[in-house]
Chain A
Amino acid sequence: MRPYGDTTGDGMVQLSFTLPVPCDKRAEGAALQLAGKMGLDPAMVVHAKQMGERFTFFVVYGRVNHLVDLSAVQVVERDFPLLSAKDVNALIKRRLRRKLVVVGACIGTDAHTVGIDAILNVKGIAGEKGLEYYRELRVVNLGAQVAVPDLVEAARAEKADAVLVSQVVTQRDAHLHNTREMSAAFREAMPADRRPLLVVGGPRFDELMAVELGVDRIFGRGTTPREVASYLVHALITQKAKAA
């Protein structure tokens, strides 16, 4: 199949972009050349407007000849459903019948609370509110440079359902060492069925390393609070119910 403009198979698409040149004939030619290289044939510059002294904004319409083969589409499915804050709260309220307790921290010498704060603070990130905003979550944010034994103790005292750890600093693989130390400490301190869900996050983690690091889940760059909340509900409520 092809994109649909106003007739089946016409392949029409629209496109807008900026080129770092002043607006003139040559600039329009450059826009058409780019469109051509992107596979638009024929292409029409329907709008060109200079911005400042040396930029031009273009809107281009044109036909692409590429075919899309639906049977060859591959997607990596998220293994848990993305829920709204409302659904997360409703599920916890109905199924857990108490607040779900989350303890968060930056461990080791890492003082970068940017990550954990983005996920936990109400302020949130990327237009999404942090976990504190969820009525049915009780969030305890221990902040920066928390020693692993203190984290374990806090998790025990707060009866944490989940522990969220953020690691930004990666010098000499500190994030990996710290995470291993943390998961080992929890394994030692608590029996498997009483251990909170262990979740780590940070921009340099490989999301596939969870097993190797002894944690339940790793979240990489660009993770939003809603994804984390949805995962917590999935792992602690939905999936558990299935297993039982």
Chain B
Amino acid sequence: MKLDGIEKKTSPFVWGIMIVLPFLFFFVSLFLGRYMIAPGDVAKILLDQIPGVNIKPTWETTAETVVLRVRFPRAVMAALVGAGLSMSGAAFQGMFQNPLVSPYVLGVSAGASFGAALGLLMSWPIWIVQIVAFIFGIIAVAITYSMAHLYKTTPILMLVLSGMVVSAFFQAMVSFIKFAADDEDKLPAITFWLMGSIGKVGLEDLAHSAIPMIIAMAVLYAIRWRLNVLSMGEREAESLGVNTERIKVIVIITTTLISSMTVSLCGIIGWVGQVIPHFCRMIVGPNHKALIPATIFVGATYIIIIDNLCRLVSITEIPIGILTSVVGAPVFAYLLRKTKGGWT
């Protein structure tokens, strides 16, 4: 008798690989770079940080600074962004019963872009720009939600359509700001910011963003079986005793927190939330009980790898939003062909 209730019998071996890969690439991204550090030294630097452990330094202090202050926060952020966006994508796809939906569908990215563009236009300090971007991401989703709210419920179709309207509005506002911005220095700043980069993330950013992101992800993780029921459609989920409105609000709040945080710190990183859940469904099947954990590991691995490519491929860093789309679009096309449009 099979009692685990997981669709595809994903072998422990495959799960093992999925779990190990993000840690492996995390470690690789600490020593790889223009300033090469021996893997052994990286390991020692990390061990040295554990309270009570004292290792005689065999490395230069620069190495320690690079590993701990530059590469470590960046790699952690990459992992959080990858896991967060992929999880959010999977949750939204379940909730909207549509595997093409991205975490940005309710207008969070457009709203946050507007906030950031506004902040950059006004030459506010970068931390204020981030906060304004974060707040506008949330405002955009709040507008979408209240527009879609009818007679005590929020029909899924209304949410999608309101999200389109709100996105279009904030995108127009971004264009307006770009149009008004001085084209010597502010316009490029806004343009580059929107293309996305994890490079700006320092330890301080990580300190105040990691915990809320992890909490939001933990909540999504905890309700993952409910997502199965929700993906049957609202009416049906309700008839199965699920308080669909409450679940919807939980999913929207958590995903908005994750995506708004991501966009405000790293700009727009597209396609992750579509490609990774789809890819994971091919490996572990559609059951969210297995899918959500899979998206965490695969998503984290994916963005860590992509971010390393951004740093290493050319002399100047490539904005991550470009690479995720350049890689994501063809991969998605391939996945579509392979699954023949069936969302296995």
Does chain A bind chain B? Answer: no
